[in-house]
Structure 1
Amino acid sequence: MSEDIKAKALNIQFLVDYQQGTVVSREVIKKELGTVTFFAFDQGQGLSEHSAPFDAMVQIIDGEAEITISGKKHTVKAGEIIIMPANEPHALQAVNSSYKMILTMIKSE
């Protein structure tokens, strides 16, 4: 975790900024048992289908995301969350707008 964000009240909108034509990420907590990462997806950008060995929670904090889990598309908007189950293929896409999200992954068996 960056020393510049420890023990401070911060506006989550400003922890990661949009950059044209790309996906930006900033890991704010990295521990053996899990991570918390902020992402900013420019419109048209995404993460291709993949899977992870642990459940992951996505919280949209700006815009809206198209999140596909095991072939089913979900539109997730600012203020909403979705759980991506362990070992199920998922993909994330900024279709209609740019969006920002928080990804929380807790590693457990």
Structure 2
Amino acid sequence: MENVFTIENLRPIRDGMTVSRDSKLGTSNMATFFSMGKDTSISQESYDRMTMYIGAAGSGTFIIGNDKKKLTLTPDTAVIIPASTLCGMETSDGMVYTEVIFKKENSAIMNEIVKTNEVFALKNLISYEEGSIANMDIVSNPTMKYVLMSFDEGTGLTPHCAPGNAIVFALEGKAVIGYEGKDYTISEGECFRFEKNGLHSVTADGKFKMALLLVLE
């Protein structure tokens, strides 16, 4: 896998097929990239742990619970499904998304700003703070966290090592990521992968928002 990528290119839509690809971020906390072809569906099923779905391309309908509540997932929106809750998907145009399944043994802590079984737009949850970098944990457990970050113009993170495998999702604007001695430009809609203990920095090119999926295993 390249350091800079889009989930849509990594797991492109195939007509009439649903295809999944393990991100290989972790083993007890699972993050999987899915693509669903036009006019395909996945029957309702439930997991024994909390699950988060993050839209990457296209759009689709999530069918939640016994009452079959319908929610529309689009790029850079997300929904959190509680344990033991039925969830199915269907799409007429095709859809790409990331499924994150949290480790069963650890209780997940969810930010009160989000609710389960409700779609939320990720970049709208966090504001820019003048001359500052802001971050907000959306959901986490002791071995995994999903964090939103905003960088005001002229701000950045100095080089540091990643404590686990991670993927950055660029939500708005662009930034330069320094990683193991090389610079990479990442723009809205693109992702960047870090390996555990990888030395990296982030420098905003203007204002920049991102999400970070970090697995601490």
Q: CA deviation at 1:83?
A: 0.3
* Larger RCO: 1 or 2 (CA < 8 Å, sep 6+): 1
Of residues 16, 28, 32, the one that matches 2:138 is 28
* 1:88 aligned to which of 193, 198, 205: 198
Structure 1 letter corresponding to 2:136: R
Aligned residues: 107
Aligned-pair RMSD on alpha carbons?
1.0
Structure 2 length as normaliser, TM-score? 0.48
Distance 1:90 1:10 in 2: 29
Deviations 1:74-103 (A, max 9, x none): 000000001011112100011x31100000
SS of equivalent to 2:113: helix
User: Given the alignment of the two structures, is residue 15 of structure 1 paired with residue 125 of structure 2, yes or no?
Assistant: yes
2:163 is matched with: 53
**Structure with larger Rg:** 2
- SS of corresponding position for 1:56: strand
Partners of 2:177 and 2:113 lie apart in 1 by 31
The offset of 1:52, in angstroms, is: 2.0
Mapped to 1, the partners of 2:182 and 2:171 lie a distance apart of 22
SS at match of 1:13: helix
After superposing on structure 2, the runs of 4+ consecutive aligned residues of structure 1 that deviate more than 6 Å are: none
Q: Show structure 1 runs of 5+ residues with no match.
A: none
Is 1:99 aligned to 2:195, yes or no? no
Aligned-partner Cα distance in 1 for 2:150–2:163: 23
Provide structure 2 residue ranges, at least 5 long, that are not aligned to the other structure.
1-109
